[in-house]
Structure 1
């Protein structure tokens, strides 16, 4: 093994002298240590000139709040669904239970994970292989994908939030997730120790997961009496209805048939091809987590058309952290001048950021507006419904510059009917499967 050269005192002194010789380094240190890097690096001109007006808006009313959880993919998909539900029932304000969706997602993931790992153990997968270590480390997080959300809604439907409200554990999932993860690790260890009992160990783990989730989140309703008052004050009674019946009746928007488009910028993954991620899913027997890799501009065109022609929000996934002004609710590629403060050129392009672990999808939201130029096709900026509450941004709504979309938006969900024939043919072909740890498998 090549010896790693240590930092010795001579080199440390060279670094100190180099810092002191920089005319602006001490000024930057004084400012950042007092105010923080974002306030110092914030591009004043870019921030004030980023307009918050849009030629098309499909706002959804009061924003939701995922609190201390990673359920953005559920919140954003349910935000799109509630937009349809509010129209169906002529309501101003309405919210679907994110707790209900998470309950069944977690329960299904317990079953999916245990049965997936059981097959690997039977096949002789070493306990310390890269794959097994990745699966054990990644299990029972809160993140997910559009297809995974649709798997839950197709199988379990949805319920209005007042009928299955938030709990302490749904609003702050860390302790519940830790206990569930520990239980699953225990069951995997037992599989390796007692291979003859694998089926029993799986069943015991599913039972334990169901028990733990019900203790933390409550027992979800199998049916409920649905009554509501519309925005004109008219009372409605639908009678007893199941969650699946509720979904099919009031959110009949065809979301289940949507296709996930991604912008994977790596050259070895050509556009117009379907890709999938090994071992990524939630509902056994549900739709696989697969994407159609397309140019970023095609994603923009689809999102614009859905809002301008259909008038509904668009679910998407992005790397939300770069160049984000959280308090003011803004994203733009030049919103912060970090390079000027640090005297360093951050020059990676999108492909390099993905390849070298600098960027991946980590948050899902919904487009609810777009500003289109006078030519009718060129997009200028985007309005975003987030799920971080209404105390930040424009009462929880963010503004995204079009260039930021190009660099940091990775996925959107669109109707299959929007795809040209060549993409429809690609959907019919087997997916190019990527390993479980590939960046395109990152969960929002």
Structure 2
């Protein structure tokens, strides 16, 4: 582990991808504000190289649904790329269906699998394939008077319900536990419509997905990077929130940015999952990079100025990346949407990243993330397979 890594204990244990602890978003955002620099936005001068079309910034509220917000944002950009009029896809519809499937897996695994409301990028694709999609206006998930997601109470109840099912007090499970579990989800999030009207036409979730959204689930593939597994083959994504045990293509570290760059240059955006609990990730300033100096070795002035202008970065190796992952220093924290490339005043390139925490930071909901940070901290990313460079696609036998 490079000594630059520093974790707050609650982040490591509670803030898995999609923020599995309900209050973790507020806690993490507040902790990241500690690292803010007052004059960061004045000290960076960004010039866009590529900035692909994407829909408006959203706010996931107090819910562990970043994986759904980011991937549905990605699908909305895919609609634009395909020449369609984008529609805001219900993020909570995807999440609600994933919670239902996750509950079934939890019981089948005798409780030995992650529950919570975190998830992975592929969950949205899998739920789209099985359940379809609906517009956000049809299924908001705000079923009890809140203006934003607030899932803590629901999560406590579903956790207790499923724990009771796993204990199997009758010695044999009844078929009613699934109905009871679904009823809790419906009570808090709303019942899923079997049919609905959109722009004067009647749809089911399946017909809406096919006729309006129009993406093909089989066209989307997910990547990870582990030195411990064979390259260019599928392997298990070894993170707790991979409750569905999906496989990802294992690629080399430098392939991460090679694929993302190729995708962006050819009009494809990217759904991205990463560790974001580093001292060098500032939501307030909208900057993430890999400093070349141990945070604890920095002077007070250096810490104060971490985000006041471009800084020299640490060179990243595959061994360093793997060690950080194995030591829990790279954790499956958050999912976002990469929509472009920008250069700072020194010519260094950053990815333009769309977040789902509202528009409260210096860049109105977006961040600039260095390529070294992406190489080091990426846990997974998802793209249309047509966005993969030919040389890598051949190795993957796509």
TM class by shorter chain equals: 0.7 to 0.9
2:70 matched to 1:76? Answer: yes
Match of 2:393 in 1: 420
Query: Residues 58-207 of structure 1: matches in 2 within 5 Å?
Result: 58-85=52-79, 91=85, 94-117=87-110, 134-135=112-113, 138-139=114-115, 141-167=116-142, 171-190=149-168, 193-195=169-171, 197-198=172-173, 200=174, 203-207=175-179
Change (3 A) 1:255 1:354: same
CA distance in 2, matches of 1:102, 1:205: 20
Local SS of the residue matching 2:137: helix
- 1:26-56 residue CA offsets vs partner (Å, 9 max, x unmatched): xxxxxxxxxx997887689987654432211
Match of 1:319 in 2: 275
> Which of 233, 236, 246 pairs up with 1:276?
236
- Higher mean C-alpha displacement, 321-330 vs 46-55: 46-55
Match of 1:356 in 2: 327
Local SS of the residue matching 1:414: strand
- Does structure 1 retain, via aligned residues, the 8 Å contact 2:32–2:283? no
Any gaps of 5 or more consecutive residues in structure 2?
1-29, 301-313
CA distance in 1, matches of 2:260, 2:371: 12
Which structure has more relative contact order (CA 8 Å, sep 6+)? It is: 2
- Does structure 2 retain, via aligned residues, the 8 Å contact 1:257–1:415? yes
Match of 1:340 in 2: 297
Query: Residues 248-287 of structure 1: matches in 2 within 5 Å?
Result: 248-264=210-226, 267-276=227-236
CA distance in 2, matches of 1:412, 1:299: 8
Change (3 A) 1:336 1:142: farther
Local SS of the residue matching 2:357: coil
Local SS of the residue matching 2:122: helix
- Does structure 1 retain, via aligned residues, the 8 Å contact 2:37–2:285? no
- 1:193-232 residue CA offsets vs partner (Å, 9 max, x unmatched): 544x13x2xx2221111111111111111111110xxxxx
- Does structure 2 retain, via aligned residues, the 8 Å contact 1:46–1:335? no
Shift of residue 334 of structure 1? 2.1
Shift of residue 356 of structure 1? 1.4
Any gaps of 5 or more consecutive residues in structure 1?
1-35, 118-131, 228-236, 426-444
Match of 2:264 in 1: 307
CA distance in 2, matches of 1:364, 1:189: 33
Local SS of the residue matching 1:161: coil
- Which has more radius of gyration? 1
CA distance in 2, matches of 1:342, 1:372: 28
Local SS of the residue matching 2:397: helix
TM-score, length of structure 1 as denominator length? 0.69
Shift of residue 273 of structure 1? 3.1
Match of 2:50 in 1: 56
CA distance in 1, matches of 2:37, 2:296: 12
- Does structure 2 retain, via aligned residues, the 8 Å contact 1:303–1:314? yes
CA distance in 1, matches of 2:331, 2:289: 17
CA distance in 1, matches of 2:220, 2:264: 15
Change (3 A) 1:252 1:40: closer
Shift of residue 158 of structure 1? 1.1
User: Larger % of helix: which?
Assistant: 1
Change (3 A) 1:175 1:420: same
TM-score, length of structure 2 as denominator length? 0.76
Say what the alpha-carbon RMSD is for the aligned residues. 3.3
Q: Tell me the matched-pair count.
A: 342
Local SS of the residue matching 1:55: strand
Change (3 A) 1:52 1:247: farther
